[in-house]
Amino acid sequence: MDIKDLLELVKELADLPVGELELEIDGVKLKLKKAGVQPVAERVETPAQSVATPSLQPVSPTQDGTPQFPPDAVVIRSPIVGTFYRAPSPESPPYVDIGDVVEKGQTLCIIEAMKIMNEIESEVRGEILDILAENAEPVEYGQPLFLVRPLS
Amino acid sequence: MDIKDLLELVKELADLPVGELELEIDGVKLKLKKAGVQPVAERVETPAQSVATPSLQPVSPTQDGTPQFPPDAVVIRSPIVGTFYRAPSPESPPYVDIGDVVEKGQTLCIIEAMKIMNEIESEVRGEILDILAENAEPVEYGQPLFLVRPLS
Amino acid sequence: MIERVLIANRGEIALRILRACRELGVESVVVYSEADAYSLPVQLADKAICIGPPEPINSYLNVQSIMSAAEVVKAQAVHPGYGFLAENPEFAEICLACDLAFIGPPPHVIRLMGDKAEARKRVASWGVPVIPGSPGEVDTEEEALAIAQEIGYPVLMKAVAGGGGRGMRLARDEDELRQVFNTARSEAGAAFGHAGLYVEKFVHPARHIEVQVLADGEGNVLVFGERDCSIQRRHQKVLEEAPALISQVLRERLFQDARLVAEKVGYVSAGTVEFLVDEEERHYFIEMNTRIQVEHPVSEMVTGLDLVKEQIKIASGVPLELEQKDVVSKGWAIEFRINAEDPRSFRPSPGKVERWVVPGGPGVRVDTALYQGYEMPPFYDSLVAKLIVYGRDREEALSRGKRALAEFKVEGIQTTIPLHEAILGSEEFREGKCPVDWLERFVW
Amino acid sequence: MIERVLIANRGEIALRILRACRELGVESVVVYSEADAYSLPVQLADKAICIGPPEPINSYLNVQSIMSAAEVVKAQAVHPGYGFLAENPEFAEICLACDLAFIGPPPHVIRLMGDKAEARKRVASWGVPVIPGSPGEVDTEEEALAIAQEIGYPVLMKAVAGGGGRGMRLARDEDELRQVFNTARSEAGAAFGHAGLYVEKFVHPARHIEVQVLADGEGNVLVFGERDCSIQRRHQKVLEEAPALISQVLRERLFQDARLVAEKVGYVSAGTVEFLVDEEERHYFIEMNTRIQVEHPVSEMVTGLDLVKEQIKIASGVPLELEQKDVVSKGWAIEFRINAEDPRSFRPSPGKVERWVVPGGPGVRVDTALYQGYEMPPFYDSLVAKLIVYGRDREEALSRGKRALAEFKVEGIQTTIPLHEAILGSEEFREGKCPVDWLERFVW
């Protein structure tokens, strides 16, 4: 990792909804905090912030869920807009159920968008703690789908 | 990483919404905090009232003065709207001057309203610390006229 | 042209007048009470001058303070708005005595029209229909009973010095009249300082249709069209529209009579001639309001003209440039009066305005002195905004009203927005021609 | 009628379309990026659906995401607003292929008018005057020099794929042309993905006058009057007015040519035919914009009609109820585009809106998606509000604009309000007929 990579990284981060980052890679340690952006987890905890945030909450489910997730869990979100299917066909059993242990790269569900079936794979090895969307219902970008507890 | 790289990095950061950066690379440790950017966590701690008060202050002089008055002084305000006169006629000496000691009930000035001369009397015995309105100028209801230090 | 106007009012109407001054290049001086130091008119005026403590009697009704303020700021005219001193003939006289133009009609016109019984008598003498009733004040219960007998029940007892729907009592028969006569007298005495009553036939069902006039005192009287103000609660208007759903024949009669009243009385400035209209489209003069009214914007929306600017020009002695042919009503306008009240109990709800997002877009006008972060003082009336919508026709105005109310976001205080939404949702209202007591019976 | 419209845009135009849907009783679904989760259209829409991260390329320009959203919410039509995908013929084609009504003209019309050189050629073939210039694309410097020689300097080099004033370069003589030719080509390539240029005579001084049309695809083309959009900065409109200060003879010629273009091209929906007008009132077709435009409200103000509602009705297959005789322009309207920018350096000024008090009262329309407390994301264009004022005549509109700008209170972000105030204060602007480069030379 050289200085160019680093700048690239910092620039990329600037546009992403990331508040803080700590990185240790190839002997390089990096710690970044974005200006004026409070990490989402903290925003939920501090009650004073309610003054600053708009008082009308958007209907979007992207906004509502964060606080209730256990801190050690990973949220797998929909990368696209589409219809959420838990199984490859109405007759098939679901890809996964609560309590299942999934491998990294294992298919968790399908998001159908424009007649194309997009398989969504697990980003981690872990246990499915919860399934957060309803079968055959529309999901939007960034909507939480699965809650997974990572296992090593 | 040389000094040029470092400068480059700092310059780039200046334009990006990054507040803090800690970096350890090739034995170099860097810790950066942007000037004029307050970490958000601290922003929350600052009193919330500033949000509550209207940000546009009215032009009225009634609103501006109060805090700067000494705590033991008494402010004598105009009870009516009118024109403030320090003397009974242009030729006469003023009723009072700074430093004078006035008795309770002693006339301090005249407020002319609708061609009627209203004598304003001191509410207390005390020393005139300041005269807060200009002779022959309009004053509004509640406008501070005299600052008096009460004497027993 | 007048160069500096003193605005002797507060809230949205002070801002309305201030806007007219600005557009004419006239300086505006707003007087205010201590409770209004942070109000929008005070912030926006060229000059603002505090005239007293919060209670109206010591500030907005304090003639001496207001006149002193006018003197010290060297104002050339006073605009009284509505309410407070707007229809006080003595105040108008004092203004004139101090060489201040009073932006309104001459004192004798205010005085005549302020005496409702006398006004009715005079107007009847000019051939304008009035509601059958006592020729003047009735002093005793027996007199009232005799007149009621003659004109037939139900009858209304109305305070001679009342107005704006205040000081009325209904009697459906002799017994009721006996019951309420003395109460009505003492109420009138308490509320208006004069216990005089007159008796009138109760026209029912009736609609309240009024005609806006504008006169320059040089013989030019313009009729600015009519408004239907039948949606009322306790005789207070809640929602108004222009034009009214009436026949062209009635419209022309109303215009003719309104013009006649304005001409005969020697009217100057903006005024309103109010009529009741029964189911057979017979119309009866009720009263004339000698001020700019809360609901004047609906007439401005359909004519594209500015009544308050015309008032100021007239007070400056500028003869009307407008002719009757320039006043063309086009489309449909509805005004929703939004009060800071619980929409069901109508209990006032002052407080801090935590969120205030006003509607916008096509055909929407908002007249308000509120802003987000404003602390509403509890001393004054509860009108916080007038939302006025305009459409090509009544249907478009109704749908626009519905969407504008839905996007009006208020937090921190309660408002009557839900009531207006319910009214718009009602089939009867959408059909139109609701009588004046419709809202009292409206269940939502 | 269409029952559910997907609004594929953000900010004030998303809200504008949402309002039109509401008034028609049509459900509105707003798509939004993560950066717009707290935006007003998202809060007010019947349904809102997040389609991607903040960068437009991944959200508002992401056709796949938008089409998926339309599918999952079962929308029947898509309104693209302006900018983003509004003039992308492929997007319109995909909508149609997915059985979604595209609220705009057919794809082939968008494609033709998107090719500025081809559009010019076709329009010229119908007898509409165009600016003398190259018959089509010029590929080499020598070709450009030859044409410039023929039509006379100064000349403009314009990107074939440009528009909205972007992708233009001026050459006052042969040397300048040689200097800028290659730069212009590579800029065009970088900005629009196509390096094609054409050469045009530089008409100077010129005014930008455009004509709003509305067509239903059933042969009915309505002309909604003209707008003067000459107050520009870097070819971006800053302030627009309707009508324009032009002779009635020119007005009729413009209307006739605009109607001809719309008819010949088979136009459907709302569109704008743009002309340059020189000092002798000769007019030249520049381009046709195949979308609703930012400045459409001025035409709505003077006609009292609602263009976006008409667009939706047309897309629903409802033939126009309006006839040309119903479109009557009355009074004067001016739009001020208020951007979140330093008014002198024009550097964008996003941030948290700490105070936001919009003007109101008579003749004022505000189209904005901002509210007090809103955090403006830095990813999109800087237009934060359109203030539109209406008056009986230009003079009243100017004085109303001045007072409305003065009461527009904004804190937390910088805006171009002071620039507009300076423009209104300028004698030249008040006299009218400023040419398109006037603002560039304006010192304040």
Task: Considering only residues D161 and A95, tell me which one the structure prediction assigns the higher pLDDT.
Answer: A95
Q: Which helix (H) or strand (E) holds C159?
A: strand C155-163
Which residue of chain A has the CA closest to D71? Answer: A114
pLDDT of residue A7: 54
Question: Least CA distance to C373: which residue of chain A?
Answer: A51
DSSP character at residue C69: H
Which two tokens mark D268? 């459907």
Run of H or E residues at C403 = helix C394-406
What are φ and ψ of residue D310, in 5° steps?
Answer: -65, -40
| Shortest Cα–Cα distance, B55 to chain D (Å) | 8
Q: Measured between CB atoms, which of A11, A31, A38 is closest to B16?
A: A11
pLDDT digits over C292-349, tens only?
Answer: 999 999 999 999 999 999 999 999 999 899 999 999 999 999 999 999 999 999 999 9
- Chain B contact set for A28 (CB, 8 A): 23-26
Nearest C-alpha in C relative to D298: C362
Q: What is the pLDDT of residue D190?
A: 83
pLDDT digits (tens, 9 = 90+) for B68-113: 677 789 999 999 999 999 999 999 999 999 999 999 999 999 999 8
pLDDT for res B43: 29
- Asked if A96 contacts A65 with a C-beta cutoff of 8 angstroms, the reply is no
Is the pTM here over 0.90, yes or no?
Answer: no
Q: How far apart are CA D39 and CA C277, in angstroms?
A: 48
Does A81 contact D50 at a Cβ distance shorter than 8 Å?
A: yes
Ranked by mean pLDDT, the top range of B58-72, C190-204, C227-241 is C227-241
Q: Which of A50, A139, A140 to mutate to test the interface with D (most CBs of D within 10 A)?
A: A140
A48 touches chain D (CB under 8 A): no
Summarize pLDDT for C336-367 with one digit per residue, the tens: 999 999 999 999 998 999 999 999 999 999 99
Query: CB contact, 8 Å: B82 with chain C?
Result: yes
Choose, from C10, C227, C291, C400, the residue flagged as catalytic.
Answer: C291
Q: What is the mean pLDDT of residues C397-419?
A: 98
Place of tokens 């000494």: B70
Q: Which residues of C touch B52 (CB under 8 A)?
A: 352, 373
Catalytically annotated residue among D10, D291, D337, D400: D291
Mutation site, D1, D7, D19, interface C, largest C CB count within 10 A: D19
pLDDT value at residue D116 = 85
Which chain A residues have a beta carbon less than 8 Å from that of D98?
114
> DSSP string of A94-111?
PS--TT-EE-TT-EEEEE
Chain C: closest CA distance from residue D384 (Å): 13
Q: Which of B34, B37, B44 sits opposite A48 (nearest CB)?
A: B44
Model pLDDT for residues C7-39, shown as the tens digit of each residue: 999 999 999 999 999 999 999 999 999 999 999
Q: Which residues of D touch A140 (CB under 8 A)?
A: 49-51, 69
How much is the pLDDT for B12? 61
Q: What is the pLDDT of residues C121-132, one digit of tens each?
A: 999 999 999 999
Residues of A in contact with D379 (CB under 8 A): 15
Quick one: which H or E segment has residue D410? strand D409-411
Is C407 within 8 Å of chain A by CB? no
Q: What's the pLDDT score for residue B51? A: 29
Chain A nearest-CA distance from B54, in A, is 15
Report CA torsion sign: C49, C55, C60, C66. negative
Task: Give the end-to-end CA distance of chain A in Å, rounded to a whole number.
Answer: 27
pLDDT of C187: 85
Contacts of A19 in chain D (CB under 8 A): none
| Count of CB pairs separated by less than 8 Å, A with B | 74
What is the side-by-side strand order in the sheet with B126-131?
B74-77, B144-150, B126-131, B101-102
Q: What is the pLDDT of residue B42?
A: 28
Neighbours of D323 (CB within 10 A): 9
pLDDT at B2 over 60: no
Q: What is the pLDDT of chain C when averaged over all its residues?
A: 95
> Which pLDDT value is given to residue D191?
82
Q: Give me the residues paired with residue C241 across strands.
A: C228, C334
CB of A107 within 8 Å of a chain D CB? The answer is no
Residues B23-58: tens digit of each pLDDT: 666 655 666 555 443 333 222 222 333 222 222 333
Q: Which residues of A touch C355 (CB under 8 A)?
A: 55-56
Name the band, by pLDDT with cuts 50, 70 and 90, for residue B5.
low
The HSE-up count of residue C306 (CA atoms within 13 Å, CB side) is: 29
Whether residue D45 contacts residue D28, with contact meaning beta carbons closer than 8 Å, is answered with: yes
- Beta-carbon separation of D374 and A56 below 8 A: no
D253 included as an active-site residue: no
Q: Does D73 touch chain A (CB under 8 A)?
A: yes
Find, in chain C, the residue whose alpha carbon is nearest to that of A51.
Answer: C354
Give yes or no for a cis peptide into D56 (omega within 30° of 0). Answer: no
In this prediction, residue A48 carries a pLDDT of 30
ipTM metric = 0.78
- Of B23, B37, B40, which has the smallest distance from its Cβ to A30's Cβ? B23
Alpha-carbon torsion angle D396, D400, D403, D408, nearest 10: -170
Measured at the CA of D443, the angle between CA D437 and CA D444, to 5 degrees, comes to: 130
Rounded distance between C-alpha atoms, residue A7 and residue A3, angstroms:
6
Give residue ranges of A with CB < 8 Å to any B CB: 1, 3, 6-7, 10-11, 13-14, 27-38, 42, 46, 48-49, 51
Q: Is the pLDDT of residue C264 over 70?
A: yes
pLDDT in tens, D68-86: 999 999 999 999 999 999 9
Kindly state the percentage of chain C with pLDDT values over 90: 89
Residues of chain A with pLDDT under 70: 1-68
Cβ contacts (< 8 Å) between A55 and chain C: which residues? 354-355, 411
Chains near A, with 3+ CB pairs < 8 A? Answer: B, C, D
Task: Identify the closest residue of chain D to A136 by CA–CA distance.
Answer: D72
